[in-house]
Structure 1
Amino acid sequence: MAGATVLFLPYPSTSGSWGSVMNLVALAQECRGRGDRAVFHACPPTAELLRRQGFEVLPVEGVPPRETPRAVDTFYDVCTALGFDDRAFWDRVLRSEEEAVQAVRPDALVSHMRLTAPITAARHGIPLASCGGWSTDPRVQASGTHPLDEMAGQLASTWSALTVRSISELVFWRADLRMVTSVPIFEPDFVDLPNTLYTGYLRPMTEAEPPWSRPVPDRLVLAYASNAPWGVPRVVEALATAAERAGAVLWCVARAGGPTGRVSAHCEVFSYLPFEALLGRAGAVVFHGGQATALASLCHGVPALAVPGRHYERRYNATRLAELGTSVTGDLAVLRPSRLATILQRLLDDDIRSAAASAHRSTYEHGGVVSTVDAIHRLIGC
């Protein structure tokens, strides 16, 4: 089949979730480069980003996230915080997906955190590839007794012939092709599963050099505090002091709307930094333990300090990095100048750099957009 039509279904949250969206953008760009029609069914602000990338976008209503709780201990907490417990909202999404399928006539669906995707795929007999991983694996994340599981079962039985026991089944497990957005050394639990593919690190696009075109300093540490509970001025001050003591230069992305500018000769705060352009040349990265940055640190061979807080997925990611020897895991208590300086010196100078380089060799060439789109094409008979 030449020139397939692929309908991409990012999860419809108005929070944006750029990391997961960029994974789908990477796949869509590869599809488009092969002559496929790549269409997105997306809500704002994701829709605007996709249109700027030149993609065709069909609109869908987005759900606003609730205030993030202090502790995110389970996948159910994630779904609740995202506002995914509103059954009426998902009914509206399914009606919108019906319209999208009728308009586009896709040969395949590719989804991320879209629990309606397997229902729509089953209703129309369309092959489905879904992104997921440990954090959405029903073998470890589903109780089968949570109210969200009941809602998922009712949604599936009302709109299709599917029978499901948990919401995580819909998010990831019931796809024809399960795409684990990771690598085996980081998330080994899927190695022997049928119809499952490790995508590796899906670089979405080659980002431009920093617009200020300044040279990248030696001993650069990148700190991503934009989505973390510790992205506050006092922590930035601690980072600045620690960077000076460690003989490093720290560039930090702060919370949206927060103050930016030069804090000291060793620290500057930005509203945005071009991730792909800088990470490969950085000496270390400080982040909250999210999967995208965790995998990126492995891919680029960059030692990390992960500060996951009480978030089940971030703690898993931080633990896995530490087990691989490429990261130090810390809690909020480490974000004090003296302790931070010691950790930064270790990341920049210690044997941890050798472990990071070894992980880089194991992950850099694994998977990628070409082999992942090859698998999607095989799914639909291209």
Structure 2
Amino acid sequence: MKILTKQTRLVFRLTIAVGMIFLICVSALAQDLRHRLQTKFTQVQTGVRALVQAGDNPAGIFVVLKQIKPALDAGHPEKAEALLDQALAMIKQEQKKPSASKSSPLPISTRIEPSSDLYANPAPVTIAGYHGSAMEPFISPDGHYLFFNNQNDPGVNTDLRFAVRTGKTTFRYLGLLPGVNSPVLDAVASMDRAGHFYFTTPRSYARTQNLIYTGEFDGKAVKNVRPAPWDIRSNVPGAIDMDTSVSPDGRTLYISRAVIVSGLPAPKSSVIFIAQRIRGQFQEVPGSAQIMKNINVDGLNYAAAISSDGLELYFTRASQRMAGASAPGASMRIMTATRTSITAPFGEARVLRKITGFVEAPSISLDRKEMFYHKREGNKCVIYRASRS
């Protein structure tokens, strides 16, 4: 089975978002030219959808599509059309590749990672009244609510949902989370103790390059939804900030940043960096790379969660693990790392070996006694709970 990573799914959603802005930009063009551009863009969207459904990553095509709006804004529709032709040619080239050359989009790793039994006894979570796919869970700091989204795949309208706790592994579905959902992807919830809520959405990405939104959760809905207040922009071409996890005190964000390069079947890299709130805006912490030097060493690293004291980090790592590694084959695993103070670097990350399978997106309770994550079972994702040993 081909691995459809979170980065691949998000790239597809960003392509759709670019399409929405594209339709606005071409509305003022002459009818014949507008029709030709719209037809080609529809062909590109259809081709991208087919590639993703086949397990391929359209990251390189997305890099090309991002250049269309600037070309139209500058009054160069002929350049926009040339970019569409380039994207269509890339799709055809990708479709001609033999399946053997596309066996896995994940980077290769031979690292032998240490393991940990810190969390064990995994058990599926039951959400009464909800029967769909459930992924990217977040347990609220008071342990009362479980936030999650449905399947984050092409052809599915991904929305944020929530449930109220009724037992150790049981919740009652409350429905779509009011205030946050849009016609495009809305996913990957995180919240601090004061109710400041964060999530990923590409609703304005083509215009603002912003994927992370925030608001205030009042127990029933999220109010005052807006782009997250930060001054964090990467100068690296193709960089996108996929998701964020806020510390319980609300002062620090752990952000996943992927770099998409044209021609590569998966992101070139995905790293986690740290930002802190300074005078109302989040800014990257000086020395973030040094603090995370033992985290961003291998594979694609994303979907972080931080303990209340800031000394324990949990995250997802994805890679192909080759002969010589502890578990050869395509691997999605949940990792943990610790440090001695909030300014010290994290130590070497360890695999939580009792949490097995296609697993992603850890979320730990405020008291650290339980962890929630999702696991793919067949064509569906299921939320699991593990307890601290």
TM-score (norm 1): 0.24
Give the number of the structure whose residues are more often helix, by fraction.
Answer: 1
Give the number of the structure whose residues are more often strand, by fraction.
Answer: 2
